[in-house]
Amino acid sequence: MARRTLVLAALLVALAAATIASLALGAVKVPLADTLDILFGSGGSASDRQIIEVLRLPRTVEALIVGAALGVAGAVLQGALGNPLASPDVIGVTGGAGFGAILVIIAFPGSIALLPASALFFGLLAATLVFLFAWTGRNRGGTTKVILAGIAMLSLFTAGTTGLLAAFPERAPSAIFFIAGGLTSSGWRELETVWPYFAVGFLFALALVRPLDRLALGDDVAASLGSKPQAIRLGAGVAAALLAAASAAIAGLLGFLGLVVPHVVRMAGGTSSHTFVIPASAIGGAALLAAGDTLARTLRAPIEMPVGPFMVLLGVPLFLWLLRRAI
């Protein structure tokens, strides 16, 4: 118990540090005092206010929400499918969202405002198709079936995406940054569109904490306790799909978080108990993305680099170090 509390405390400290760094640092130097004044008071120059209130604050909040969402999505899927390689990519969301976004960027550039909606729609569509295939026929909802259906759907949408890129090669560079994944400083505009999906996804995940612990003891014990194992798996899939699709809609395709963060917190905390893993994955994911995004936009300021490599830079050494100790 003490170890878990320690790990949670450490994660919260990391979260606080990353949040402060994300608000205080950027391409333009704004003194910390001014930043605090702008956030909590009413001071600061017009330009600085614009930077903190319209650019940095929403971006920081987005980083925290998306990081938490992807961490939770991965944790919930790994618990439900009982497979350590499970992540939001496995249920087809990432492939679908990528296709939806690139469809808009490349084939309907005039409708760019609909990009988040398109990514969200196709992400959820892909997940729905995966569940449909996995839940019909023999061995309904079996883990292998879900994973294989997810891979098939991923391949399908990836092929669609590649086809689009090949058909409009001139427009391909615009699509690259969505594929690489990353946050943008566009105020609250995108979050306003997708926040309900985050809310429902997080609520679902919260409700799944105890059921997932039961599922960890096997389908039979879960059934003995009055749960329906397949319903839990489906619920987990829905929660993960909502969280991952909403994340892709505003932050592109970020693959590393959902897979690795749950493992890191599991190894650090020494437990698979979902009452620990799910909140810890949320906090850890939020801290990692906020830190990675801050690095991506300050290291070579004013150039903005994609956030993926920085998350990997921060996360992989920790992951490997824990792996050595755990095994």
Of 90-98, 111-119, 236-244, 310-318, which segment contacts another protein by CB under 8 A? 111-119
Q: What is the C-alpha to C-alpha distance for residues 252 and 231, in angstroms, rounded to an integer?
A: 29
**CB nearer to another protein: pick between 41 and 110:** 110
Q: Would you give the binding string for another protein spanning residues 208-247, x where CB under 8 A is met?
A: --x--xx-xxx-xx-xxxxxx-------------------
82: contact with another protein by CB under 8 A:
yes
* Cα-based distances in Å from 64 to 26, 67, 242, 318: 17, 5, 16, 20
CB of 207 to another protein, least distance (A): 6
CB of 290 to another protein, least distance (A): 16
**Shortest approach of another protein to residue 216 CB, angstroms?**
4
Which residue's structure tokens are 């997810």?
150
Amino acid symbol at 56: R
Q: Is 145 in the site for another protein (CB under 8 A)?
A: no
Query: How far is Cα 142 from Cα 150, in angstroms, rounded to an integer?
Result: 12
Residues 70, 97, 105, 282: which binds another protein (CB under 8 A)?
A: 105
| Minimum CB–partner distance for residue 298 and another protein (Å) | 9
- CA-wise closest residue to 62 among 166, 146, 169, 185: 185
Question: Residue 214 and residue 12: Cα distance in Å, rounded?
Answer: 27
Q: Given candidates 8, 11, 51, 280, which one binds another protein under the rule CB under 8 A?
A: 51
Between 71 and 116, CB nearer to another protein: 116
Burial of 212 (0-12, 13-18, 19+ CB in 10 A): buried
The span from the CA of 254 to the CA of 71, in Å, is 11
Beta carbon nearer to another protein, 83 or 128: 83
Interface with another protein by CB under 8 A: which range of 7-15, 35-43, 184-192, 314-322?
Answer: 184-192
Contacts of 11-17 with C-beta under 8 Å, sequence gap 24+, read 11/265, 11/280, 11/283, 11/284, 11/287, 12/283, 14/283, 14/284, 14/287, 14/291, 15/64, 15/283, 15/286, 15/287, 15/290, 17/287, 17/291
Q: Minimal distance in Å, beta carbon 204 to another protein?
A: 12
**Helix 2-24 vs helix 274-298: crossing angle, to nearest 10:** 30
173 forms part of the interface with another protein (CB under 8 A): yes
Taking the complex as a whole, how short is the minimal distance between the CB of residue 17 and another protein, in angstroms? 21
The stretch among 24-32, 68-76, 90-98, 317-325 that binds another protein (CB under 8 A) is 24-32
In the structure encoding, which two tokens stand for residue 105, read together? 């960027």
What is the footprint of another protein within residues 265-304 (CB under 8 A)? Answer: 266, 269-273, 297, 301-304
Task: Find out whether 60 and 290 touch, Cβ atoms under 8 Å.
Answer: yes
Residues that bind another protein (CB under 8 A): 26-28, 46-47, 50-51, 54-56, 82, 105-106, 109-113, 115, 138, 166-171, 173-174, 177-178, 182, 184-189, 206-207, 210, 213-214, 216-218, 220-221, 223-228, 252, 266, 269-273, 297, 301-305
